[in-house]
Chain A
Amino acid sequence: MQENRIGIFAVSLVLGVFAATGATAAPRAAVVLKVAAPTSFHSGADIIAEKYGFFEREGISFQYVKVPDTPTKQIAAIKAGKIDVVTGHPDLYVNAIKAGVKIKGVVRGTLGNASYPHLSFFVRKDSPIKSGKDLAGKKVAPGEWKESSFDTSCAGFFWSRYLKESGIPRNKVKQVALAEAEHEKALTEGTIDVAISSPAYAEKYLKHGKFRRLSTTWDLFPTAVDREDSEINLRGFTENFIKKHPETVRRYVKAIVQAQEWANDHRKENLEYFEQLQRIEPSVTNKLHLSTSGLIEDRPLKLWLTQLEANGTLKRGQIKPKDLYTNEFNPFNEYKVNDVKKNPTFYDDFRLNWSKKNKGGVQEKTDEQIRKDELKKNVAPVVPGKGKTR
């Protein structure tokens, strides 16, 4: 009798959800994911996803584990089963795979934006450093952690790029690794000459006005597309977890994608979250831009792999972009370009007529082809010339 009741209850529940959604949705089991407790701006989307109910609607809640968000600590924690999810730039995935920990990114996080650069380089106001060309022999913070170096994470990636574009070999600059919270004092006291700062700290420095911004990540790379690509980070799981819990991964990706869409449109409302997370008073202008589809592509990963190969961290071709990710669980993955012959759209007909009028077929180009063509012509797509943070 008891079982029967549960059975009826279950059927009612299915029908109830069906009625509520108008869809064929069945009630889904609750999921608890073990994640590193948020400590930096990289966790922005998680905060939004939790705060605005995106995770709850997907039946996901978190068990927060105290794990520092450095790449090596995250890799160790996921290997030991302390956490289920890692968040990091491509180098985290590369290093994990190199160490035999099989993980894959499942959703893209950050994406470059002129108004919300990922990192900024600061010097003292009275510093003689005016550009990257003045950096030879200087002491710089290579990143936001004590274990940072020019070979790790976003800061190492952007430092390497900045020095390359400035024509300064990396070994001509002295790395003084410090936690980001110590950068301000170190820069003031002259322990370092350049700090590299994430959005919350950058905003703080711009507000108090004691330092001068030397450059930002948006000022690097030749094209707007490269700049958007360069900031890529990914959230990922072990291949084992993905195999055992595909539905959980699907729900997680769906929640993050929606949270990122929401966050990009509601910066003003959401900004202070990140800053408080880093123990900085809310100042209402946090700057972080996110991918709105969460889809991961080869192109941005190639930027990173090429640099890791140049640094000697990777052998040429040792790891391919596809080794680092899967879009299988992303709800946007089902949307593919149409077959123009079988299912032409208004645009395809238009294009065909246009081609006829203009005497010659026009091949549809991929993003990558477009970019290559533009680079050949030495014209930066979208915005000519160097980037300017605004």
Chain B
Amino acid sequence: MGKKRIGMVTISLSLAMVLATTVGCSSDKKSALQGKAAVAPALQPVNDLFAPKPKDVIELRVPTPTSFHSGVDIIAQKYGFFEREGIKLKYVGALETPSLQIAALKAGQIDVLGGHPDIFISVIKGGFKVRGVVRNSMGNATYPHMTFFVRKDSGINCAKDLIGKKVAPGEGKAGSFDTSCGGFFWSRYLKENGIPRNKLVQVPLAEPQQEQALRQKLIDVTANGPTFAGNYSKKGEFKKLFTSWDLFPTITDKEDSEISMRGFTDDFIRKNPEAVRRFVRAIIKAQAWTLDHHLLSSEYVGQLQDFEPSVTAEHHLGASGYIEDRPLRLWLAHFEEIKTLKPGQLKPTDLYTNEFNPYRVASDGKKYPTYYDKIKTTLAKK
């Protein structure tokens, strides 16, 4: 009986959906609130960014926040973006390197993977199917993702002075020129300046140790996320060599280059599409809100990294969370160049899906002929 009922409801609803479209186009005039012309009644898209609050709660296991990458999670929790989507996070402990995160994901200890494209590439290369579902970081001139510092008396003023120098390749103790944002931006900087990567000595150090190491000349260049970079800038003891925003020729490339994503395994996505949908909605809204409140967010992430809650710095985020091929191509091309990937081994679309992003419905502007299109046509004729 229970099953039957569900069957009947399904048929009724399917019919209703068909009817909804038909009726929608013919009942304009009476429903118009304003003006002369009238349009079809609005149908909410299947995945509305501002969908009503669900009644149940889904728990997702995630790494405990330790860096600026988690700023948006703090906002999403403190301001109720997760709660509104019926999402509760369970922190499983700090997983500070990509390899620890990958291991935890494979062991089923976490549900969500976060990082730059290389983490997704590594997991996929390891035979584990995983996909980004929402974009996080995005380049911005005021809020660069990474900054590289030298001692003021180091004599290092440009890239060519780096030959033979010891550098922190990233912000983690497992960093290298082949991994994460640190490695990606280091590689780009050296390439733009014609310096082979093997002419530098990589000394991986966790970010909190880099300041002292630089002072004691154990390293000559640090690689820092915004929090540490903001603090170094304030203290004024070190000199900025370059930032991630100084690289790449165009603003679009600069914005693209910082891409990071949150994702799930294909298996999790298949089994829990609603959880993914809600998670993506919460992150998008928290990101959009954060972009209008950079100062507040920088306070949170600064303190998370054990700094006094004074203004430090912050990175920038994608407002729509929509993932595109273009930024991923930048990263894939880089990995093909350094030969950690064979040419064409992975395509951008292997790394992500926008299926759970409410903005998916907005991706085709050609569907909607508008006032603007009329102007364009008139201009073209002229």
Chain A interface residues (CB < 8 Å from chain B): 9, 12-25, 27-34, 37-38, 47, 50-54, 56-64, 84, 108, 111, 113-115, 224-225, 228, 245, 248, 251, 254, 257-258, 260-262, 264-269, 273, 276-277, 279, 285, 291-293, 295, 331-332, 334-338, 345-348, 350-351, 354, 362, 364-367, 370-371, 373-374, 379, 381-384, 390
- Cβ-defined contact, A22 with B289, below 8 A: no
List residues of chain A with CB within 8 A of the CB of B39. Answer: 30-32, 56, 59-61
Q: Which of A17, A33, A38 contacts B44 (CB 8 A)?
A: A17
**How long is the Cα–Cα vector from A300 to B369 in the complex, in angstroms?**
36
The 9 closest A-B pairs by CB, nearest first: A59-B42, A16-B20, A16-B16, A32-B35, A19-B13, A114-B141, A29-B31, A292-B288, A261-B319
User: B203 contacts the other chain (Cβ, under 8 Å)?
Assistant: no
User: B163 contacts the other chain (Cβ, under 8 Å)?
Assistant: no
**How long is the Cα–Cα vector from A268 to B40 in the complex, in angstroms?**
31
Q: Mark B23-55, 1 if CB is under 8 A from A, else 0.
A: 110001001111111111111111011111000
Q: Which of A19, A115, A245 contacts B33 (CB 8 A)?
A: A245
- Cβ-defined contact, B78 with A338, below 8 A: yes
- Cβ-defined contact, B298 with A53, below 8 A: no
User: B280 contacts the other chain (Cβ, under 8 Å)?
Assistant: no
Contact A351 B42, CB 8 Å, known A13-B23, A17-B20, A335-B84: no
Interface size on B, residues (CB 8 A): 98
How far in angstroms is the closest Cβ of chain B from A60?
8
Closest to B29 in A: A30
List residues of chain A with CB within 8 A of the CB of B313. Answer: 382
Contact A346 B65, CB 8 Å, known A293-B292, A370-B295, A382-B143: yes
- Cβ-defined contact, B142 with A382, below 8 A: yes
| Other A-B pairs beyond A32-B36, A332-B288, 10, CB < 8 Å | A12-B23, A13-B16, A23-B52, A32-B37, A51-B368, A108-B292, A115-B140, A262-B319, A338-B77, A382-B230
**How long is the Cα–Cα vector from A315 to B266 in the complex, in angstroms?**
62
- Cβ-defined contact, B303 with A248, below 8 A: no
**How long is the Cα–Cα vector from A390 to B141 in the complex, in angstroms?**
7
User: B81 contacts the other chain (Cβ, under 8 Å)?
Assistant: yes
User: B314 contacts the other chain (Cβ, under 8 Å)?
Assistant: yes
Q: Which of A332, A347, A351, A374 contacts B311 (CB 8 A)?
A: A374
- Cβ-defined contact, B38 with A37, below 8 A: no
- Cβ-defined contact, A382 with B298, below 8 A: yes
**How long is the Cα–Cα vector from A379 to B35 in the complex, in angstroms?**
53
User: B218 contacts the other chain (Cβ, under 8 Å)?
Assistant: no
Interface centre among B15, B32, B320 (most CB of A within 10 A): B320
Q: Which of B18, B33, B80 contacts A335 (CB 8 A)?
A: B80
Closest to B80 in A: A335
Contact A295 B292, CB 8 Å, known A12-B16, A115-B251: yes
B49-77 residues with Cβ-Cβ distance < 8 A to A are: 49-52, 64-65, 74, 77
B129-151 residues with Cβ-Cβ distance < 8 A to A are: 135, 138, 140-143
B67-108 residues with Cβ-Cβ distance < 8 A to A are: 74, 77-81, 84, 89, 91
Q: Mark B278-299, 1 if CB is under 8 A from A, else 0.
A: 0000001101110111111011
- Cβ-defined contact, B372 with A23, below 8 A: no
List residues of chain A with CB within 8 A of the CB of B37. Answer: 32, 61, 63
Closest to A25 in B: B44
List residues of chain B with CB within 8 A of the CB of A374. Answer: 311
**How long is the Cα–Cα vector from A214 to B16 in the complex, in angstroms?**
61
**How long is the Cα–Cα vector from A389 to B53 in the complex, in angstroms?**
42
- Cβ-defined contact, A245 with B13, below 8 A: no
Contact A57 B43, CB 8 Å, known A276-B379, A345-B77: yes
Contact A21 B13, CB 8 Å, known A113-B140, A273-B372: no
- Cβ-defined contact, A336 with B33, below 8 A: no
Q: Which of B17, B31, B41, B80 contacts A338 (CB 8 A)?
A: B80
Looking at the complex, which of B113-121, B168-176, B180-188, B359-367 is the stretch in contact with chain A? Answer: B359-367
- Cβ-defined contact, B13 with A9, below 8 A: no
How far in angstroms is the closest Cβ of chain A from B238?
13
- Cβ-defined contact, A53 with B367, below 8 A: yes
How far in angstroms is the closest Cβ of chain A from B133?
15
How far in angstroms is the closest Cβ of chain A from B71?
10
Q: Which of B28, B135, B295, B303 contacts A381 (CB 8 A)?
A: B295
Contact A20 B46, CB 8 Å, known A30-B31, A32-B39, A276-B375: yes
List residues of chain B with CB within 8 A of the CB of A22. Answer: 46, 51
User: B352 contacts the other chain (Cβ, under 8 Å)?
Assistant: no
How far in angstroms is the closest Cβ of chain A from B319?
4
List residues of chain A with CB within 8 A of the CB of B230. Answer: 382
List residues of chain B with CB within 8 A of the CB of A115. Answer: 140-141, 251
**How long is the Cα–Cα vector from A27 to B371 in the complex, in angstroms?**
26
Q: Which of B49, B292, B299, B318 contacts A365 (CB 8 A)?
A: B299
**How long is the Cα–Cα vector from A115 to B248 in the complex, in angstroms?**
14
**How long is the Cα–Cα vector from A266 to B46 in the complex, in angstroms?**
22
Interface centre among A225, A258, A276 (most CB of B within 10 A): A258
Closest to A335 in B: B79
Contact A51 B14, CB 8 Å, known A115-B141, A332-B288: no
**How long is the Cα–Cα vector from A335 to B31 in the complex, in angstroms?**
32
Closest to A278 in B: B375
- Cβ-defined contact, A277 with B375, below 8 A: yes
List residues of chain A with CB within 8 A of the CB of B15. Answer: 12, 16
Closest to A32 in B: B35
5 contacts between A and B (CB under 8 A): A27-B43, A32-B35, A52-B368, A262-B319, A365-B309
Contact A32 B38, CB 8 Å, known A347-B304, A382-B230: yes
List residues of chain B with CB within 8 A of the CB of A61. Answer: 37-39
Closest to B139 in A: A115
**How long is the Cα–Cα vector from A13 to B24 in the complex, in angstroms?**
8
- Cβ-defined contact, A248 with B46, below 8 A: no
User: B252 contacts the other chain (Cβ, under 8 Å)?
Assistant: yes
List residues of chain B with CB within 8 A of the CB of A266. Answer: 320, 322
